[in-house]
Amino acid sequence: MVIVGNLGEKGFALLTTVLLLASVAYLTLQEEQRQLPVAYVPVWSRIYEDYNTTGDWGYVLERGPYELLATDNEWDSTHEYISVDLPLIEGGAATDPQCLLNPDSDKCPRISLAYWRPDVPAGATVPVIVEIGPYFGEEAVSTPDITVPGSWLGLNIINNILPHGFAFAQVSVFGTGASNHCMDLMGNSEQLGVDAAVTWLGSQDWSNGNVGIIGKSYDGSTQWQAAQFGNPHLKTIVPISGLIGVRELMWRNGSAEARAPFMHNVVYGGFGTDGNDEDLQNACPDYVAGPIHGANGYVFGGNEFQNALVEGYWEERYFLPDVLENYEGSVYIIHGFHDWNVDPHMAVPTLNTLKDHGIEAKLLMGQWDHDYPDRPAILRDRSGPGRGGEAFPEMVRYDWMQDLLEWFTWYLREEGPQPNMWTEIQDNHGQWRVTDRYPQAGVERREFALGDALAHAGGSLQVVPGGADVVFETEPFAAEFRFGGQPQLHVDAMPEGSGGQIYALLEDCDNDGCIHVGHAIMDLRFYAGGTDYHVVTPGVTINAKMEFLAMDVVIPSGHTLKLTLRSTGDGYLPASTTAPVAIEMGASSVLRVDVVDPAAEHYFLPPQCRHPACVGE
């Protein structure tokens, strides 16, 4: 078979394993394939397609029929300013004296955008794919101007998808690039600007009225902002490592990342200050108060006792509830299990929440970090032991750009069959499988009680800042053990102060050492989970209900599963109420994991990477 010649020794071994795991499901897959409409090749058969698997990123299988429409600049783009009607309460440009005197003044709120169009026949209309964020025309990135396509994504969209009859646009959020007003850090004025851009792009005479948004990180978060409004032009979003909320990024069960008190409020706030006369427009309430919210969030675990003034700042920046209520489009989430810039809980269990509310959604989740799934050299360089390295190069998805084309063709051009809606999950040893939900429903759950199946390794049972680890470990597994989703650790803990914090680390260990498989953290003032604050009484035992960030794990035969408890880790700050915490063993201190049964799963191999980064050249 042709694919064998392209796999290499590791790939051939993995292919053999995958075929064995999938044998029970093979007939079911064949039956599903027969029931598909005549169109797209299912994901498990893409390995037989003629993908370019040697380039620095993915390509579509066939180039589209249209060329880029020429304009009067070297990048063939068109630049526009879009007026945005902001309430006076937002301050900044909305209250600029020149704007108040003349509503048509260029000092009034406006955002900067550029777009590229395919050269289609006169009168033909096309849908628009747009990326919205703060990085166009900023010194820290490689686009000197918004009229230059972003090297990280825009060029790929223009070269691969635009020729199939799509326009592409880039939009600078307020306070960045050539957009005026203040940098509102995902607040109400930024959200209104994003919505205005969607409406403008969907209302042009060359547009068919359908708009889709794509982008990573901050540019993956503006999509959730847009989806809040129920804008009829917005048909799909493709958030890559995007935020469903700002507090949700920086705090986990009340525990703060090291950047939480200052990064977004101060670092991103600096985008709007460049020494010109529009710096005066930074007099926006949330721009000025942002650093205060960040500092208070650390002291009070991101909750601040439900203070109405402070809490409103975070509620304004939590997008998911309004998306669930108002959005009628689709969602295609791309995320990495090892993305500690934007933690995986932005994707899991968000996927299931969307499905439960009737929103068409799928997920592509592999063992990469904060990146795109089709960049072999970058994925290799960022994947170390226990942080995705064991899943490289199988994590590289050269079929991703084709996947996007099929997705946008259905949801924006409203043509062709519906794309394959399977969620695709990669375990930490590189094997891919398809499923509907994640975490999956109705799977077997296995429990490991602390002091029993997870034996105490000796030493202290007290989590002390800077002290020795509290360690539990299983016996070596007699057979390979697989689990996934969001394992839970419910542990009886007795704080010696008015708070304290527990960081839980799961590792796969053998005689050669241990590798990270997942972690969780909790400020004990939030021991019930989530954002609900509780008063902790020193000396009183509580049951801390911790939930790990998403993982998908294979523990080989002969290896052990190790649980380590300490006061902090993985870039989180010590709790503002740091105190020793005694850990109690027993039936109510238990690790629960969702078992993955390989005989019941549909495993597959994607097109195999032959880039020099993948084959060791």
Cα 282 to chain centroid, rounded: 29
Task: Tell me the residue type at 363.
Answer: L
Give residue 576's pLDDT: 80
Give residue 38's pLDDT: 53
Higher-confidence residue: 213 or 283?
Answer: 213
CA–CA distance, 248 with 245 (Å, rounded to integer): 5
Predicted confidence band at 277 (pLDDT cuts at 50, 70, 90)? low
CA–CA distance, 133 with 586 (Å, rounded to integer): 49
The answer to whether the CB of 88 falls within 8 A of the CB of 108 is no
Cα 197 to chain centroid, rounded: 23
User: What SS3 class is residue 252?
Assistant: strand
Give residue 573's pLDDT: 84
Tell me the DSSP string of 81-116.
Answer: EEE----GGG-GGGG-HHHHH-TTSTTS-EEEEEEE
Q: State both tokens at 100.
A: 């108040």
The CATH architecture one would assign to domain 445-596 is Sandwich (2.60)
Cα 396 to chain centroid, rounded: 17
pTM of structure: 0.91
124-146: per-residue pLDDT in tens?
A: 999 999 999 999 986 556 678 99
Peptide bond into 373 cis (omega under 30): no
**Does position 172 have pLDDT exceeding 80, yes or no?**
yes
Tell me the DSSP string of 156-223.
Answer: HHHHHTGGGT-EEEEEEPTTSTT--S---TTSHHHHHHHHHHHHHHHHSTTEEEEEEEEEETHHHHHH
Give residue 490's pLDDT: 97
Give residue 32's pLDDT: 44
Q: How, if at all, do strands 110-116 and 78-83 pair?
A: antiparallel
486-536: per-residue pLDDT in tens?
A: 999 999 999 999 989 999 999 999 999 999 999 999 999 999 987 788 999
Least reliable range by pLDDT among 11-15, 20-24, 417-421, 609-613: 20-24
Nearest Cα to Cα of residue 200 among 69, 320, 361, 78: 78
Handedness of CA 22, 28, 33, 34 (dihedral sign): positive
Mean pLDDT confidence for 209-230: 97
Predicted confidence band at 13 (pLDDT cuts at 50, 70, 90)? low
The ranges of the chain annotated as CATH 2.60.120.260 are 445-596
Q: Classify residue 477 by its DSSP letter.
A: P
User: What SS3 class is residue 259?
Assistant: coil
User: What SS3 class is residue 617?
Assistant: coil
Least reliable range by pLDDT among 30-39, 135-144, 287-296: 30-39
The answer to whether the CB of 56 falls within 8 A of the CB of 611 is yes
Higher-confidence residue: 279 or 106?
Answer: 106
Which distant-in-sequence residues (6+ apart) come within 8 Å of 149 by Cβ? Answer: 75, 77, 116, 143, 155, 157, 158, 168, 170
Percent of the chain scored above 90 by pLDDT?
74
Annotate 291-324 with b (16+ C-beta within 10 A) or e (fewer).
eebbebbbebbbbbeeeeebbebbebbbbbebbb
Q: Residue 219 to residues 5, 366, 409, 519: CA-CA distances in angstroms?
A: 39, 20, 22, 26
SS3 content of the chain, % helix, strand, coil (to 5): 30, 25, 45
Higher-confidence residue: 313 or 555?
Answer: 555
CA–CA distance, 448 with 470 (Å, rounded to integer): 16
**Does position 87 have pLDDT exceeding 60, yes or no?**
yes
The answer to whether the CB of 285 falls within 8 A of the CB of 315 is no
The answer to whether the CB of 272 falls within 8 A of the CB of 182 is yes
The answer to whether the CB of 536 falls within 8 A of the CB of 575 is no
Predicted confidence band at 14 (pLDDT cuts at 50, 70, 90)? low
**Does position 159 have pLDDT exceeding 50, yes or no?**
yes
Give residue 3's pLDDT: 31
Predicted confidence band at 7 (pLDDT cuts at 50, 70, 90)? very low
| CATH class, range 66-328 | alpha beta
The answer to whether the CB of 170 falls within 8 A of the CB of 82 is no
CA–CA distance, 150 with 145 (Å, rounded to integer): 9
455-492: per-residue pLDDT in tens?
A: 999 889 999 998 999 999 999 999 999 999 999 999 99
The ranges of the chain annotated as CATH 3.40.50 are 66-328
Give residue 260's pLDDT: 64
Give residue 23's pLDDT: 42
Peptide bond into 349 cis (omega under 30): yes
Q: Residue 506 to residues 346, 444, 511, 550: CA-CA distances in angstroms?
A: 20, 20, 16, 12
**Does position 60 have pLDDT exceeding 60, yes or no?**
yes
CA–CA distance, 486 with 25 (Å, rounded to integer): 25
Mean pLDDT confidence for 538-549: 96
